[in-house]
Every structure is written in C-alpha cells, then in structure tokens.
Amino acid sequence: MYKQFYQGMALTELPLFALVLFIMVFLGVCAWVFGVRRSRDFDTLARMPLAERGEGGHE
C-alpha cells in the first residue's frame, strides 16, 4: 500500500524531512520548557497555593 502511494510522489524524502523537523522542534520546545532557568519560575508557582496572601510577590 505505501509503495503504491509513494510511487507517484516526486519528493519521496519530504515525509522523512517533516518527521525529523517535527522531532527537532518538539525536543527544542521540551528543552526550553524544562530548562534550568525556568525551574525558578516553576518553584515560585508551586509555592503559590500554600503561601499566605501577599507573600511571594503574587497577589
């Protein structure tokens, strides 16, 4: 089935390129979200429900 589908395509490398591009963007976004610099933001947000009103710089 796939052989018949790709038989008529001029750019057979395009699906592989799109997959590699998607994986690179996905890993880049994961690295940005879970990076060390952002861990301070997550720590602050994690303490918000337990903090008294007015503590932590958020009201």
- Helix extents (H) in the chain: 2-7, 14-33, 39-47
- Tell me the residue type at 21: L
Extents of the domains making up the chain: 1-47
Q: What is the pLDDT along the chain (59 residues), one digit of tens a residue?
A: 777 777 777 887 888 899 999 999 999 999 888 876 777 777 788 888 877 776 555 54
pTM more than 0.85? no
User: By the 8 A CB rule, do 47 and 56 touch?
Assistant: yes
